[in-house]
Amino acid sequence: MLTVLFLGDVVGEPGRNAIIARLPDLKKRWSLDFIIVNGENAAAGRGITPRITIELLRAGASVITTGDHIWDRKEIQPFLETEPRLLRPLNYPPGAPGAGTIILETSKGKVGVINVQARTFMHPILENPFPLLDIAVKEMRRETANIIVDAHGETTSEKIALGRYLDGRVSAVLGTHTHVQTADEQIFENGTAFICDAGMCGPIHSILGRQIEPILARFLSNIPAALPVAPGIAHLRGVLLEIDETTGRALRITRVDEPGDAPETPAT
């Protein structure tokens, strides 16, 4: 059995610190074979930098996925060409830096990851993800049936449609972007695990990881304002997958909500 941890959007320093503090413990506790982290908001709440990418990889992430904020830090463009474990959405036009797919070897065999961005209410509007996924999945299945898709999108309907479209062809379709963990985790009829949104890794006393008061002021006044990342206690939210590595079919999907503080060492 292949055990995969998928963590939703990392928000700023609180989210990064929580991952660095907890991943070693979670990897040991759950005997994890593979870890995927969506890092597109890891740099002060917008984008990701080369340094942060390296920190998350060193903490234990196998692959880092992203979304619509991938280009927010200008230094990331050349870095994408040198670090294949950092993905950008598959459906950018040809010539965009980096890649939207990767296959990595594990002790349980090869695992493929695909990063795709939905289109409804998303900016920029990218190429249609459905036919591009057909091509990517067909190519990837020549090497492995163990395929995880990060579906980065706004609407539940489009993410469910992506999951239903890929049912039986990939191991899991896991939604990101809205930062709110949904309660619809399930395994579709043909063996694909699904959740509309895995949630976020970030401060819980916040509005989607941002400080509460500036966002309330913006809603009340309609005046643009800075929206800093909130301080305080962070939680890690995502899903834990168990996959039959010989068939690629999901056996179990379980929501994860873990406090970000490192566990205390028992007194000796």
Catalytic residue numbers?
Answer: 69
- Determine the distance from the C-alpha atom of residue 166 to the mean position of all C-alpha atoms in its chain, rounded to a whole number: 18
H/E stretch holding 254 reads: strand 250-259
Please name which of 195, 191, 198, 135 lies closest in space to residue 162, comparing C-alpha atoms.
195
| Contacts of residue 208, Cβ cutoff 8 Å, sequence gap at least 6 | 11, 178, 179, 180, 200
Secondary structure class of 131 (helix, strand, coil): helix
Spatial separation of the C-alpha atoms in residues 39 and 132, rounded to whole Å: 23
Query: How many residues does the structure list for the chain?
Result: 268
Spatial separation of the C-alpha atoms in residues 98 and 214, rounded to whole Å: 35
Spatial separation of the C-alpha atoms in residues 169 and 266, rounded to whole Å: 45
Secondary structure class of 174 (helix, strand, coil): strand
